[in-house]
Each structure stands twice: as C-alpha cells, then as structure tokens.
Amino acid sequence: MAEKAILYDATKCTACRGCQVACKQWNENDEFIPTIQNGVNSTNRGSYENPIDLSPQTWLKMRFTEVEPSGGKLRWLFTRQACMHCTDAGCVRVCPNGSLYHHELGFVAYNKDTCTGCGYCIDACPFSVPRYTRNIITGFAKMDKCTFCTSQGLDRIAEGIEPACVKTCPPKALRYGNRNDLVAEAKSRVQVLKLKGYSGANLYGENELGGLHVMYILEDSPDVYGLPVDPQISGLTAAWQNVVQPVGWAAGGLMVAVLGLNWLVARRAGVNKETK
C-alpha cells in the first residue's frame, strides 16, 4: 500500500490560518476566544501569530517569520508547525506501550486512550511538537499532537477523505496524496521557483529522519523558517530504545518470574503443612 503524505508549499501559503480552524473543529479541540468577557485578557505580543504556541488543544499552528533582506524590504515567511510524521520517529522509539505507532500508510498515529503521560515523546521529538496536560486532581497526564486526522471516531483517512487542514486550504498550499507522487511534484515546483529567481528554494522532508510524511517546499534555507537543517534522533533516545527499554522489560519479566516462583514455593509449603 502506497504511503501517504501532506505537502506544504510555503510559497503559496497566505497564512489565513484556515487550517488551524479546520484542525480544531474536526478534532473537537475548539477553544473560546480570549476576551475579557470570557475571563481572559487578550495580549498583543507584537505578532500576528495566534495562539503563541502549540498546546494540547492546538495541534497545528502557523508561524510567522520576519525576514529583512539586504534590500531593506521586509517580507514574511510562513511555516506550518505541527507533527512532521517522521519515518524514523523518536516519539515512536521511546513510547513504552505503543500508544504512538506507525500507521500502515506511513505517518505516526496515536492512541490517546492508552497514553500513560510519561512525557518521553516530548523530549524525543527533534521538532518539539508533542504537548501534554496533567489533571491536577487525579494526577493523570495525556499527550496530544496531530494524528493525521485518524483519531478514534474521527478518522477521515479510513473514510477516504483528505485531512481537514488540506481540505480547507484556500490557495491549495496543502496537498495530500501518495508520498512518491508528492515528492516528484515538489521537485518540479522547486525547479520552477529557482527559474523565477528563488535560488535557495528546496524540498524539506524527502530524506530527513528516513523521510517525513509532512514535507515542505521552501524558498529559503530551513533554518530561516525555524526548522532544524539536519534533524537527528538524540543519543539518549537511541539508548532508551536499544538499551534501557530492553533491560527494563527483562527486569520486569524476571520480577514476575521470581514472584511466581515465590508463590509456588509458599503454596507448596502450605500444602505440606496441612498434610502433616
């Protein structure tokens, strides 16, 4: 089955943030507007960005970057900030119980019901995407991130419908389809941009971390957009998957075996005592 992906063309994006709204509505993450009437004072942070960051209720956010070239004319660069759905995903590596896993179509799916709120995925993500919240009464925590519109009961992909953010994008800056087809389309688009004078145009995500399932067409270097040029899985994440987790499972299995043996010995001793 062909892997699916989303292609974001930053050169076509108008930052209307319709994708943000569609994401919230479809995934039932609606938030009230921060006004005095709602008990929250709105704050001008000197930017058009809103909200200020990702959160358990905001899985997709448009980031605005001001760039002042040598000519002195200010320009905006827009970046889609959300889960990048890596093939070599640090969050999947460290998730202790498989709540984060790779969907058969390649992207990183998530079962919130089984999440333990350990927070390991937050530290393992090179894009700093996952967010979590803790119930101050029960102490229980849950992580949240983009699920590629595959949340239980809200699965658009299973119904053959494109993700909500893609569906709503007015300038068609977001495309959904077979990953190989989108890579070919993106490379062609990059060449067109270079012919138009955008010498720094590039495709971000074709090979990074084994290949991302959210790829970007950029007109400048990734670091200008606030993206890591060469994202890497940290050594601690690799050590957790290859050393700590196996040792933990082995220790847990040994403990179960010891407790089982102890129960059998105690039971046998009790039986012997009763027969005397």
What would the pLDDT profile of 182-199 be if each residue is shown by its tens digit? 999 999 999 999 999 999
The phi and psi torsions of 212 (rounded to 5 degrees) equal: -90, 155
Contact 109, 150 (CB under 8 A): yes
Report pLDDT for 249: 47
What does the pLDDT read at residue 228? 95
**Would the pLDDT of 264 be above 70?**
no
Same domain? 122 vs 191? yes
Give the structural domain span for 269: 234-276
Task: Judge if 240 and 168 occupy the same domain.
Answer: no
* Same domain membership, residue 118 and residue 31: yes
Angle at 76 between CA 50 and CA 56, to 5 degrees: 25
Residue 180 CA to residue 186 CA, distance in Å, equals 10
Q: Are residues 80 and 186 in the same domain?
A: yes
Tokens, residue 6:
């989303």
Considering the domain architecture, whether residues 241 and 216 belong to the same structural domain is answered as no
> Based on the domain organization, do 12 and 68 belong to the same domain?
yes
Q: Judge whether residue 257 has pLDDT over 90.
A: no
* Mean pLDDT of the region 171-192: 98
Specify the pLDDT at position 90.
94
263 and 159, same structural domain?
no
- Pick the more confident residue, 137 or 252: 137
- Looking at the fold, whether 130 and 265 belong to one and the same domain comes out as no
Q: What is the DSSP letter of 159?
A: G
Q: Is the pLDDT of residue 50 over 60?
A: yes
pLDDT digits (tens, 9 = 90+) for 198-249: 999 999 999 999 999 999 999 999 999 999 999 998 767 656 555 555 554 4
Q: State whether 261 and 195 are in the same domain.
A: no
pLDDT at 251: 47
Average confidence score pLDDT of the chain: 86
| pLDDT for position 246 | 57
Highest-scoring range by mean pLDDT, 23-37, 42-56, 142-156, 253-267? 142-156
The answer to which of 7-11, 66-70, 132-136, 193-197 has the lowest mean pLDDT is 66-70
Same domain for 211 and 239, yes or no, is: no
Q: Are residues 252 and 167 in the same domain?
A: no
CATH number, domain containing residue 163: 3.30.70.20
Q: What is the pLDDT of residue 263?
A: 54
Question: What is the arithmetic mean of pLDDT over 128-156?
Answer: 91
3-state secondary structure 56-117: CCECCEEEEEEECCCCCCCEEEEEEECCCCECCCHHHHHCCCCCEEECCCCCEEECHHHCCC
More confident position, 250 or 235? 235
Q: What domain count does the chain have?
A: 2
226's tokens: 């606030």
Judging by DSSP bridges, how do beta strands 202-204 and 108-110 pair with one another? unpaired
With a cut of 90, say whether residue 45 has pLDDT above it: no
Q: Does residue 180 share a domain with residue 62?
A: yes
Q: How far apart are CA 14 and CA 49, in angstroms?
A: 13
pLDDT at 276: 56
